[in-house]
Structure 1
């Protein structure tokens, strides 16, 4: 089936997945342009504006050239473009293992159920905590993952309380990572161990390997 619908694309690149349970897997990343949030620690501000118009057919053609089954649709905020839902379904129909990285500010209930939804919960330290779309918590499944980016200990305590109050770890795997260049990685690790918090600690592998280089 041909799909002529277009999306605004900042970049498509081949790299190692740096986060989530798929960390380390060779993955094609499709970075959509635009985001309604302005998190203080954002590392993809270059995706807020610009980009180029690509048809979904062209996107699929580019992805196939890299020879990997893993595709991650990210941003910006990919769900800010209506055509993102069509792209996700088309990728699944083509047999790819698809993940979606979303800020958690927009509803995820219409995303194709074959997609693994990686949903960020914005902490107070992000500056965008008021943008969280809390209803998303009700539709998470074990195929999804929830992520907290921690700026400081107050963020950690806020996230810890939320996890325990709503038993989020029983809904889906919970990820927790330190802001790159912010809270020390060993500090966050020690807090998690101290509290026996049922989360997966993660560092951004791509930052360890390549720093803040776009397209990595």
Structure 2
């Protein structure tokens, strides 16, 4: 397979680990972390990906991914869609036969993402400090194989997320994940709220942080 030489991306890291989130949690996965993000969420744990990284040709990225012989590949950031060539990368990964997921903050248009990609859309809560950046039109581009994530900083975020779920019928659209912000909301407390309110959501704790803490590259 050949690639246009102008198709390059700025990459923070490419690594092999266990998927720590989404319905694919626990599965061995190659992560391609792109550099750059237009958002500055209060709980961000990948600020090192805002700048730096190295420019890599698409062919070199594909070669490095292939060296791990994975089944699953996740494109993440930063905000991967901040680089227009991310769409080429996603398509190339799908064409190569991988099961591909995209982790996006939801502030940028997802309509151009290859339909084969599992989009994991992070709806920003008030506690994130970036709630005004949500691009609500993205919801119409989600299918049953996609997922919506809320990172919750406290009960106010939880109540806000419940209201958004109801207004947009999110649980009827695709899987919904509720994740407690590390150090701000106890997972057990969030679990009790979900059970109390009988919400049709998946409680998500970050497996990679339980295993390796906040160490980069996991």
TM class by smaller structure? over 0.9
1:73 to 51, 72, 75: 75
Q: Which runs of 5 or more residues in structure 2 are unaligned?
A: none
1:63 to 56, 62, 65: 65
2: CA distance, partners of 1:2 / 1:39: 37
Which string of whole-angstrom CA distances, capped at 9 and with x for unpartnered residues, describes residues 192-216 of structure 1? 0000011011100001101100001
| CA root-mean-square deviation | 0.6
Please tell me whether residue 177 in structure 1 is matched to residue 162 in structure 2: no
Which string of whole-angstrom CA distances, capped at 9 and with x for unpartnered residues, describes residues 145-194 of structure 1? 00000000000000001101221000000000100111011000000000
| Structure 1, 157-166 or 28-37: larger mean CA deviation | 157-166
2: CA distance, partners of 1:129 / 1:77: 16
Equivalent position of 1:196 in the other structure: 198
SS of residue paired to 2:102: strand
1:128 CA displacement: 0.2
Aligned residues: 216
SS of residue paired to 1:73: strand
Equivalent position of 1:135 in the other structure: 137
Moved over 2 A (4+): none
Which string of whole-angstrom CA distances, capped at 9 and with x for unpartnered residues, describes residues 118-150 of structure 1? 000000000000000000111110010000000
Equivalent position of 1:2 in the other structure: 2
Equivalent position of 2:46 in the other structure: 44
1: CA distance, partners of 2:84 / 2:110: 12
Q: Which runs of 5 or more residues in structure 1 are unaligned?
A: none
1:68 CA displacement: 1.2
SS of residue paired to 1:107: coil
Q: Please report the TM-score for the alignment, with normalisation by the length of structure 2.
A: 0.98
Q: Please report the TM-score for the alignment, with normalisation by the length of structure 1.
A: 0.99
1: CA distance, partners of 2:85 / 2:53: 15
1: CA distance, partners of 2:183 / 2:53: 28
SS of residue paired to 2:55: strand
